[in-house]
Amino acid sequence: MRKSLKFQTPTHCCPVEEDFNLKSMLLVIEKQKKTGVRDLNSVECVLLSLLDEFRSLHPRTSSRFGSLANPLPPFRALPCRGASKTFRSSPAVDLHGLRDIVECLNAKPEALYHLGFREPVAKSTLADANEKRDWRLWEALALSLIPKARSLYAEEDLGLDLENTIYALDSTTIDLSLTMFPWATFRSTKSGIKMHTQIDLRGPIPVCVFVSPASMHDVKWLDMLVFESGAIYLFDKGYIDFARLQRIAASGAFFVTRAKDNLRFARQESRAVDKTTGLRSDQVGYLALPKARENFPSPLRRIRFFDAEQKRYLVFLTNRMEVPALTVAKLYKKRWEIELFFKWIKGNLRIKHYYGTSLNAVKTQIWIAVTTYLLVAILHKELRLPGSLHRTLQILSVHPFEKIALHELLIKNEFKNPDENDFNQMELFDL
């Protein structure tokens, strides 16, 4: 049984910048808290609870709120904006611009009252929010949820018989219009951004997200991370830089990656393998080239494996020496979970299409998507809901404006068949 762990907010990889102004926002929210009872299903109350948690988890940052100079003008409808962002991220609502969002929100205003709407929503309100509301607020909210989500999923069984925390690292590229996103330099004909992500495979839960222009090489992101002693990091061969791999090893952490085709390896020891499992070799040695050896002087383990499903050979590199070779191969296979995470968040939370063209608007939308994912993951686990996270999100997405208790909405009730002797039903085919 894996022992319980306490997770801290990973400020080492996703630092909360403290120079942004939240004073007026907090004043508005505190005023709203004192006005009366709020519907617990409203986005407004979600923001209130998250900000309370944020202030408890980030006392150094929150202590500065009262001393910030030049506060922003009071927000006219903070809950309205928050609800709008949540609405536009709904997978069941395929909206292509702010005008579509406004039209849908204003179509039935009486249904929006419990979400905090007190007046019609203007397109300019949403546009101003995209430009002026600092994306770091949403980053801070997401970071405050990460420890809770990780603690809920800490006992998830990965089927590897390992007590180590296992992370997967990767990035996904999102193509953008060069005309509309000139700041996201990529190629001469188009722009793009990269979403660099680190996930805890138990969940999986994103613990670190970094947005950069698509031109940034993946391996440079490793320079921004502080590696956790005893943890195992999984990444593809695009992250191989032996000086950076040495920094991982020096921190007491482990890595599993694929070897490049031109790797020169000096074998010192060969271990027996069971070839019926797909393993072909298990070797311990050192890098053969002098420059590579200088950057990574520690011993390495090279494991050759035949993937029968894809009909190809895979060569793995790791600095973890004592675990079975087959476990190393299974570890790398788990890296695919981050690809599924990218597919999930792109498809279900629609971060491939953006409602603003500034860097602030893009980062805001990405961090709202991450926050939504974390909220759904927490809700799914705490209520012990059946099915997948996708099911939970789909149910929530088609009921964004209904005042209904979450457990009534999400937990399946027994379906009652109508009375067979009830003859008050219209017979459509009784000719």
Provide the b/e sequence for 292-323 (b: ≥16 CB within 10 Å): beebbeeebbbbbbeeeeeeeebbbbbbbeeb
Note whether residue 170 is domain-resident.
yes
- pLDDT band of 114, cuts 50, 70, 90: low
Question: pLDDT averaged over the chain?
Answer: 77
pLDDT at 338: 94
Please count the structural domains in the chain.
Answer: 1
- Establish if 46 belongs to a structural domain: no
Kindly indicate the confidence band of residue 341, based on its pLDDT and cuts at 50, 70 and 90. very high
Is 207 a member of any domain? yes
- CATH number at 329 reads 3.90.350.10
Predicted pLDDT of residue 34: 55
The residues, any chain, with a CB within 8 Å of residue 333's CB and separated by 6 or more, are: none
Q: How many CA atoms lie within 13 A of 168 on its CB side?
A: 23
Residue 418: pLDDT above 60? no
Q: How far is CA 269 from the centre of its chain?
A: 40
Report pLDDT for 83: 40
DSSP string, 277-303: GTEEEEEEEEE-SHHHHHH--S-EEEE
Under a CB-based contact definition with an 8 Å cutoff, are residues 374 and 205 in contact? yes
Task: Please list the alpha-helical segments (H only) found in 184-287.
Answer: 242-250
Closest CA to 121 of 104, 106, 99: 106
Looking at residue 36, its pLDDT comes to 47
Average pLDDT score over residue span 280-309: 95
Query: Is position 114 within any domain?
Result: no
pLDDT of residue 417: 53
Of the listed ranges 12-21, 66-75, 236-245, 247-256, the least confidently predicted one is 66-75
Looking at the domain assignment, is residue 278 inside a domain?
Answer: yes
7-16, 103-112, 407-416: segment of lowest average pLDDT: 7-16
Closest CA to 228 of 54, 10, 4: 10
Give the pLDDT of residue 94: 54
Whole domain around residue 200: which residue ranges?
161-340
Report pLDDT digits (tens) over 184-215.
Answer: 888 888 889 999 999 999 989 999 999 998 98
At 122, the pLDDT band (50, 70, 90 cuts) reads confident
Using one digit for the tens of pLDDT, what is the confidence trace for 273-293? 999 999 999 999 999 999 999
The span from the first CA to the last CA of the chain, in angstroms, equals 65
pLDDT value at position 306?
95
215's tokens: 């031109």
Asked, for residue 202, whether it belongs to a domain, the answer is: yes
* pLDDT tier, 1 (very low <50, low <70, confident <90, very high otherwise): very low
Whole-number pLDDT of residue 60: 44
pLDDT average, residue stretch 412-430: 52
Confidence category of residue 392, pLDDT binned at 50, 70, 90 = confident
Q: Which residue has the higher pLDDT, 219 or 56?
A: 219
Asked if residue 3 has pLDDT above 90, the reply is no
The more confident residue out of 88 and 146 is: 146
pLDDT > 90 in the chain, percent: 42
Greatest mean pLDDT among 24-33, 76-85, 290-299: 290-299
| Helical (H) or strand (E) element with 87 | helix 78-88
- Tell me which residue of 224, 202, 203, 201 sits closest to 212, measured CA to CA: 224
What is the average pLDDT across 236-255?
Answer: 95
Lowest mean pLDDT among 28-37, 110-119, 149-158, 218-227: 28-37
φ, ψ of residue 77 in degrees (nearest 5) = -150, 70
- Is residue 254 pLDDT above 60, yes or no? yes
**Structural domain includes residue 331:** yes
Residue 256 lies in a domain: yes
